[in-house]
A and B are shown apart, each in its own frame.
Chain A
Amino acid sequence: MADPERQATTDDYLARVAAGLHLPEPNAGDVRAELAAHLADATAALIGEGLTPEQAEREAIARLGSPDVLADGLRRAQQTRRRLLAGAGGGIWAAAGHGIGGTILGYGLLMAVVLSIAVLGAVLNRVIGFDWSLDVSVPYQAWTTTLAAGAMCIGAFLGARRAVHATAARSLRSVREIGPWWALGGTVVLGAWILFILRMPLGWPAVGALMFIPASFAAGATVMIERPGPRIRMRHVLLVAVVGFVLPVVLLFGVSAQVGSTLSAGGSGSASYASADEMWRAQHFDLIGRRPPDDVAAAFGAGGYSAEGGLIAPYVEVTSAIDLSAWHDLRFEAWRRPRGDISPDPNFRAPFTTAPAGRVGTRLQATLRVDRTPGVIYYGLVLTGVGPDGERYLLSGPNGGQTAFVGTIWEWFTAQ
């Protein structure tokens, strides 16, 4: 019958070896059983040589050496290239799954935070008249990108964490050994993706948040990596989808009606001018060109534009009353304008983009891209031309529109 004290010593030794193995249970069990059989054989042989059972067991254990060193050797023996490849595959799968799940969760959580801030702001506005609003120098599309990028940061952090643990488990390596490789690879891949591939509406907050995604991934793969992080399940995603998407949509339906009415009420003010020329100068149209004679202005009729993304196609109807042969360099111009105002922004002395106007039937028309200039949100489209006197005239417009820079971060920086 086995001595319980001796059994405890052997069990402790085997438990310490098993704890350092990091092997899946069938393999770890095999190793334990193999070492237990070895210790039983060695102890029996040593007792046969004249040692007491206690001495024999101690000597048998001593001959196997440090349990940590033995476990390390056994673990390294199992670390094959095939296992590492399987680990890398499992890691990519885990990174994708938890990255997407984490992004959805993050989006819901951030929406809930934004909603809470909105509600708090509304309450403070009502109670103490606190005025709050988003920075209007950033287009709203770029705020949406910022929110999405924030959610992707959360997804990148959680995805990286699960990837490291999945790779470590399959390749039988420690998370500390695997983490830096995932951090390096993820930073390079995600960095290239957000710099050169991902095209989104951008503003400075969006650029900052997007550039934080690789850093977030690297942090997820290295910071306190022993903790595996939450396992994202479908019920979590559904819960956050309800809290973060459905509720805000329902609530924002009510808010949007109020915002719309506020904008309408606070629209353009009216001012009286002594002459049309005074009005022209006061509204900075002289930056664009001279005021045309009335008969010329009357010759350019109804206008408008169609838009597809950032590609704008303005047109102006031209009556037969004007002889365009005396006019040259007819072109459509897009000028920055302040929010809520159709006049050009006096801080800019030139249009941010132009396109020659071509005659199609009774129309003059062109196409322009308005989403390639950082910082432009509100713009006015005008038709200008150089008259018989060699001066440029503003012939039609402006027609107002709103845009945002759309492109990669690389394009954003190079367009500055």
Chain B
Amino acid sequence: MPGPRLGGSQLLKGTTPLLVLTVIGDGELYGYEIARQIRDRSGGAFAPSEGSLYPTLHQLEQEGALTAAWRDSERGPRRRFYQLTPKGEKRLEASLEQWTSFARSVERVALGEGSHG
């Protein structure tokens, strides 16, 4: 059963580049597939606004984290496939580390975990 949807949530803001880099990290993808994979892999919890997906992709491309190339796909029109660059891999690694540390800290505070001295 899918969890609560966070499509319009403030929580999702700022995580879109991380989600995008993560799914592209597993293999080159085009825009629609990236959105679909994020939705599917989060069990429907994350549905990034498709309108913010493309500016994020283009921003990451300008920053050198992604490269893009037009190619024929298995079905339908030609698609613009995005691929992680070495710079993008480093950024993904750093972002994941940052996110993990952040999530653990939030967890410790919100769920009362950790030592109380």
Q: How many residues on chain A are close to B (CB under 8 Å)?
A: 25
A38 touches B31 (CB 8 A): yes
Q: B98 near A: Cβ within 8 Å? A: no
Chain A residues in 8 Å Cβ range of B105: none
Is residue A33 within 8 Å, beta carbon to beta carbon, of the partner chain? yes
Tell me if A65 is interfacial: C-beta within 8 Å of chain B.
Answer: yes
For window 12-35 of chain B, which residues contact chain A by CB distance below 8 Å? Answer: 30-32
Taking the nearest CB of chain B, how far is it from the CB of A97, in angstroms?
Answer: 29
Do the beta carbons of B54 and A70 come within 8 Å of each other? yes
A226 contacts the other chain (CB 8 A): no
* Contact yes or no, B62 A78, CB < 8 A: yes
Q: Which of A40-48, A143-151, A299-307, A400-408 is near enough to bind chain B?
A: A40-48
Interface majority SS on A: helix, strand, loop or mixed? Answer: helix
A3 at the interface (CB under 8 A from B): no
CB-CB under 8 A from B3, the residues of chain A are none
Q: Is the CB of B51 within 8 A of A37?
A: no
Q: A37-B30, A73-B51, A76-B55 are in contact. Are A44 and B62 (CB under 8 A)?
A: no
Residues on B with C-beta less than 8 A from A69 are 51
Q: Which of B50, B51, B54, B76 contacts A44 (CB 8 A)?
A: B76
Chain A, range 1-56, C-beta contacts under 8 Å to B: 30-31, 33-38, 40-42, 44-45
Nearest chain B CB to A35 CB, angstrom units: 7
Q: Please, how many angstroms separate the alpha-carbon atoms of A42 and B30 in the complex?
A: 13
A77–B55 touching, CB < 8 Å: yes
B52 to chain A, nearest CB (A): 7
The answer to whether residues A77 and B50 also contact, given A37-B79, A41-B76 and a CB cut-off of 8 A, is no
Q: Name A71's closest neighbour in chain B (CB-CB).
A: B55
| B49 (CB) vs chain A CBs: closest residue | A65
Partner of A40, one of B49, B70, B76, B80: B76
| B54 partner, pick from A42, A73, A80, beta carbons under 8 A | A73
B32 near A77 with CB under 8 A, answer no
**A227 touches B (CB below 8 Å):** no
- Could you list which residues of chain B lie within 8 angstroms of chain A, going by C-beta atoms? 30-32, 36, 49-52, 54-56, 58-59, 62, 70, 76-80
Residues in A lying within 8 Å of B, measured CB to CB: 30-31, 33-38, 40-42, 44-45, 63-66, 69-70, 73-74, 76-78, 80
Q: List 14 A-B contacts (CB under 8 A).
A: A34-B54, A37-B30, A37-B31, A37-B78, A41-B32, A41-B76, A42-B32, A65-B51, A65-B52, A70-B51, A70-B54, A73-B51, A74-B55, A78-B62
